[in-house]
Amino acid sequence: MTCTPRYISAGVLGLLAGLMIPAISESIMTDVQSYRKVENIAYREGPELEDYARERCRLDIYFPEGAADFATVVWFHGGGMTAGEKYVPGELMNQGIAVVAAEYRLSPHVNAPAYIEDAAAAVAWVFKNIEQYGGSTQRVFVAGASAGGYLATMVGLDNQYLAAHGMDANRIAGLISLSGQAITHFTVRAERGISGTQPMVDELAPLFHVRGDAPPLLLVTGDRDLELFGRYEENAYFQRMMKVVGHADNELHELKGRDHGGVEAPAHSLLLEFLKRINKTISTAGETK
């Protein structure tokens, strides 16, 4: 499935928020009675870790108790790679899915690609451990907002980061970037003394790693006239190049009337719709084996 960019008004977003999420919740998982949250689990360990890594390389897992084979969203917070803390988005609670919210080391304490390596370690932890909570390793999605969206797409497109953990990035069920950078992130450029208004695409850009066999991809940005710099345009080019290399399942949504900070909350209904569709595809594929 290949989708062209969609333009969504603020009024339609309100309707989506009110109507779409409950229907998706029912479709993804029914009869969930309660949810549990386990906090501050270390996803990187070892005597070689410095104190800062021990502090930041932790995650929370929020999951439906007593359920089985549910989907999991690994969620990376925003903050420009210089700020931010882990949190479970409220719009993703009580939806029949697990959410793993991960922190990662920040610049200037570390430089790239350290925070990408942390994100990959968190994703690898989920694949290795989610079954003990009842989740399915076939339904692990990787997502984030702003800097978190950048991390999600870097981990999912550049195979080397998960390969370091003996894993294939194509095991990810889907990638979701909410207003994330597709070019080399501005903090990476700042670490190199390059201006935030000087575009660059190198090995630390998701755009550098476009490939036709990548997991399904959902891109959401704010209004092109209200977003940071050229955030919509770089995501539009990202989607276009994914199509050019033969990637068959990608979506791009522009939320009209929304600036960068206003994207995340309404975009979660699109995220849940994406999960519902991919989850159904996975279930159908399993039934036909």
Which percentage of the chain shows pLDDT scores above 70?
88
| Residue keyed to tokens 């270390």 | 42
> pLDDT tens digits, residue range 147-202?
999 999 999 999 999 999 999 999 999 999 999 999 999 999 999 999 999 999 99
Q: How far is it, in rounded angstroms, from Cα 73 to Cα 59? A: 12
pLDDT tier, 24 (very low <50, low <70, confident <90, very high otherwise): very low
Which pLDDT tens digit goes with each residue over 202-233? 999 999 999 999 999 999 999 999 999 999 99
Task: Measure the CA–CA gap between 152 and 101, rounded to whole angstroms.
Answer: 12
Average pLDDT over residues 33-49: 95
Residues 6+ apart with CB under 8 A from 197: 229
Residue with tokens 């903050």: 79
Distance CA 55, CA 84 (A): 13
| pTM of the predicted structure, to 2 decimals | 0.90
Query: What is the distance between the alpha carbons of residues 121 and 100, in angstroms, rounded to a whole number?
Result: 13
At 70-103, the pLDDT tens digits run: 999 999 999 999 999 999 999 999 999 999 999 9
The pLDDT score that the predictor gives to residue 26 is 43
Assign a CATH topology to domain 6-282.
Rossmann fold (3.40.50)
